[in-house]
Amino acid sequence: MTTNITLPNQIVSAIRSVIGTETALLHEPSFNGNEWNYVKECLDSSYVSSIGKFVEQFEGELTNYTGAKYAIAVVNGTAALHIALLLAGVSNNDEVLIPALTFVATANAVSYCGASPHLVDSEEKTLGMDPIALREYLNDITEIRNKQCINRHTGNVIRAIVPMHTFGHPVDIAELKVVAHDFCLEMIEDAAESLGSYVDGKHTGTFGLMGTFSFNGNKTITTGGGGAIITNDEDLARRAKHITTTAKLRHMWKYVHDEVGYNYRMPNINAALGCAQLEQLSTLLSAKRHLFKRYQKAFENISQVSIVKEPNGCQSNYWLQTILLNNSVTNQRDIILDSTNEAGFMTRPSWTLMNDLEPYKNSQKMELSVAESLQRRIINLPSSAHLDMDKVC
């Protein structure tokens, strides 16, 4: 009987039973392949920066892996979102639909375009945008004029929608695509967290006009810092490459820049790391999936907690393992976070909702009851692939 063991202690024991008695961070990279070789190759050749073979190689491998026609490597995931939104036509005074429950980068990228985030509620089964609630909301507050979606409250154009695949779990992207179409919105997928996640066998990030990835140190694979835009549109791909590399025209010696460009290119040394990481992606993904199964077993007898599983028809990369507290025990969330962190297991609550952050507190928003509930109930668990690989070896 475990009835007189407190919930925080039960959770600490469950985590310990999965990852052993050692401490564990939330998400650490694994460098078990050609990382040293490829980075050394950069140093030996002196091509560490804006010239070198690895950027193109990394982009090519990303297209092979995701099935997108084009990939443009950039300096981080936020920059990828910024450029994707600009190229989708987002500009001053526009509004862009983003989830309230996301990392702040999604909202910031909208702001960089002079536009405002407009916050959308989640659904519990995906943690991401709820297409049904969103459709009802848009029916209520918008009208279509000249093939533009006008927010009747602000008079602004709602230009685009940015669904995000939370912790690697695919959002209901097929339905959201229909909503985007019906309301004349460009769809950009924030797939920062979902490299290796699929919907009906199609890679996340390939459903909209463009998709974006992050290769920050805590993501499934890392380039140190880095990101990418993927798209099937040749013209957009060309524009993305141009504008992220200072908009310089090709010339043997002349400096001609034909628009305001950005220095957002990914350095060769980072791309070298990325090439090595991509070679191991399938190993990392199976380790993460296996880690999920072990957590699932460890938590199955704790009735006040459920573990977040990939949505039906989807394959998740299980980037961050997640438990959801039942409503009856949300008042224990902070004690659980304290106990697990004190025990050496790095756990984290979900992000603060965008509307609770100072820069976004006055954002337009729909009713956010599910996102608010999720925000009180989500706890992310230590999720590094090596936690499984160490155990298996």
Binding site residues, ligand PLP, CB under 6 A: 76-78, 102-103, 105-106, 164, 190, 192-193, 214, 216, 227
Please say which residue, 11 or 229, places its beta carbon nearer to ligand PLP.
Answer: 229
Please say which residue, 72 or 164, places its beta carbon nearer to ligand PLP.
Answer: 164
Q: How far apart are CA 284 and CA 278, in angstroms?
A: 10
Q: Find residue 307's DSSP bridge partners.
A: 323
Q: How far apart are CA 347 and CA 25, in angstroms?
A: 8
| Nearest distance, CB of residue 195 and ligand PLP, angstroms | 11
| Nearest distance, CB of residue 167 and ligand PLP, angstroms | 9
Please say which residue, 211 or 227, places its beta carbon nearer to ligand PLP.
Answer: 227
3-state SS, residue 193: coil
| Nearest distance, CB of residue 284 and ligand PLP, angstroms | 17
Q: How far apart are CA 31 and CA 221, in angstroms?
A: 10
CA angle centred on 249, ends 246 and 253, rounded to 5°: 105
- In the block, residue with structure tokens 């848009």: 138
Burial environment of residue 232 by CB neighbours within 10 A (0 to 12, 13 to 18, 19 or more): middle
Please say which residue, 150 or 203, places its beta carbon nearer to ligand PLP.
Answer: 203
User: Up-side HSE of residue 80: CA atoms within 13 Å toward CB?
Assistant: 29
> Edge-to-edge, what's the strand order for the sheet holding 322-325?
305-307, 322-325, 378-380, 348-349
| Nearest distance, CB of residue 68 and ligand PLP, angstroms | 18
Please say which residue, 10 or 277, places its beta carbon nearer to ligand PLP.
Answer: 277
| Nearest distance, CB of residue 226 and ligand PLP, angstroms | 7
| Nearest distance, CB of residue 6 and ligand PLP, angstroms | 32
Q: Are 165 and 320 in contact (CB under 8 A)?
A: no
Q: Find residue 315's DSSP bridge partners.
A: 198
Letter string b/e over residues 340-360, b meaning 16 or more CB atoms within 10 A of that residue's CB: beebbbbbbebbebbbeeeeb
Can you point out the beta strands (E) in 56-181?
Answer: 70-74, 95-99, 116-120, 142-145, 148-151, 157-161
Please say which residue, 165 or 242, places its beta carbon nearer to ligand PLP.
Answer: 165
Per-residue CA distances from 392 to 278, 291, 385 (Å): 21, 10, 11
| Nearest distance, CB of residue 309 and ligand PLP, angstroms | 20
Please say which residue, 106 or 315, places its beta carbon nearer to ligand PLP.
Answer: 106
Region for residue 51 given its phi and psi (left: phi exceeds 0; alpha: psi -120 to 50; beta: otherwise):
beta
Residue with smallest beta-carbon separation from ligand PLP: 77
| Nearest distance, CB of residue 355 and ligand PLP, angstroms | 16
Please say which residue, 12 or 230, places its beta carbon nearer to ligand PLP.
Answer: 230
Please say which residue, 126 or 216, places its beta carbon nearer to ligand PLP.
Answer: 216
| Nearest distance, CB of residue 316 and ligand PLP, angstroms | 14
